[in-house]
Amino acid sequence: MITLANSLTVEKVSLTYPRSQFPSVSEIAFTLAPSQILSIVGKSGSGKSSLLRAISGLERPQEGQITLGETLLSGPGKFIRPDQRKIGLVSQSGDLFPHLTIAQNVTYGLKKWRRSDKKKRCLDLLEAVGLAGLEKRYPHQLSGGEAQRVALIRALAPRPALLLMDEPFSNLDTMLREHLRRITVEVLRKEQTTVLFVTHHPDDALAVGDQVAVMHHAKIIQYASPRTIWENPASAEVAALFGSINEIQNSEGESGPPDWLRSDQITLGSESPECLANGKITAIEFLGSFQQIFVQPDDQSQEIKIKVPANRSFELGERVGVRRTP
Partner 1 sequence: MAQKNKHPQLSDGWDLSLWRILAWALGLILLSPVIVLLASLFTPLTPDAAEAWQQLQEYLLEDAIKETLILIIGSCLLAFILGVPAAWFVENFHFPGRRFLSIALVLPLAIPPFIAAYLSTEAREKLIPFLIKVRTEQGIDTYLLWEEGLRYGCLILLFASVLYPYVFLAGRSAFSGSGIILGEAGRMLGHSPWKVFWTVQFPLARPALVAGLFLVAMEVLNDYGAVKHLGFSTLTVTLFSTWFGLDQIETAKRLAGFILVTIFLLVALERWHRGKARLILHQEGRPITPAPRGLFVTICCYLSCLIPISLGLIFPTYSLVHWLLEDATKPSAESWREIFQAARNSLILGLVATVTCLVSALIIMGIVRYSRGKLLRFLSHASTVAGYASPGTVIALGIMGVAVTARDWFPAGTSIGDFLISGGILWLIFAIVARYFSVAAQMVQQGLARQPENFDQASRILGDSPLQSFRKISLPLLTPSLLGGATLVFVDVCKELPLCLLLRPFEFETLSTLIYGKVDQGTIYACAMPSLFLILLSMIGLILVELNGWRKLHRKSDS
Residues near partner 1 (CB under 8 A) are 17-18, 53, 56, 58-59, 81-84, 86-89, 91-93, 95, 97-99, 108-109, 111, 138, 140, 154-155, 158
Cβ 170 to partner 1, closest distance in Å?
11
Q: Which is nearer to partner 1, 59 or 146 (CB)?
A: 59
Q: How far is the CB of 83 from partner 1 (least distance, A)?
A: 5
Kindly list the distances between the CA atom of residue 294 and the CA atoms of 47, 140, 282, in Å, as whole numbers in the listed order.
33, 46, 6
Which class for 4: exposed (0-12), middle (13-18), buried (19 or more C-beta within 10 A)? exposed
- Nearer to partner 1 by Cβ, of 59 and 204: the residue is 59
In whole angstroms, how close is the CB of 167 to partner 1 at the nearest point? 10
Buried-exposed string 30-67: b where 16+ CB fall within 10 A, e elsewhere: bebeebbbbbbbbeeebbbbbbbbbbbbebebebbbbb
Report in angstroms how near the CB of residue 114 gets to partner 1 at its nearest: 17
Q: In what order do the strands lie in the sheet with 63-68?
A: 25-32, 8-15, 63-68, 71-75, 78-79
Local structure of residue 277 (DSSP, 8 states): E
Work out how close the CB of 182 gets to partner 1 at its nearest, in angstroms, rounded to a whole number: 25
In angstroms, give the least distance from the CB of 20 to partner 1: 8
Question: Angle at Cα 152 formed by Cα 147 and Cα 154, nearest 5°?
Answer: 90
Quote the CA–CA distance of 233 and 205 in Å, as a whole number. 14
Identify which of residues 142 and 239 has a Cβ nearer to partner 1 in the complex.
142
The alpha carbon of residue 166 and the mean position of all alpha carbons in its chain are separated, in whole angstroms, by 9
Output 146 or 237, the one with its CB closest to partner 1. Answer: 146
**Given CA atoms 240, 245, 250, 255 in this order, what sign does their dihedral have?**
positive
Strands, E assignment, 22-70: 25-32, 37-41, 63-68
Nearest residue (CB) to partner 1, 134 versus 240: 134
Q: Do residues 53 and 59 touch, judged by C-beta distance below 8 A?
A: yes
Closer residue to partner 1 (CB): 45 or 109: 109
> In whole angstroms, how close is the CB of 224 to partner 1 at the nearest point?
29
Nearest CB to partner 1, comparing residues 2 and 287: 2
Tell the smallest beta-carbon distance from residue 89 to partner 1 (Å): 4
Nearer to partner 1, 39 or 56 (CB): 56
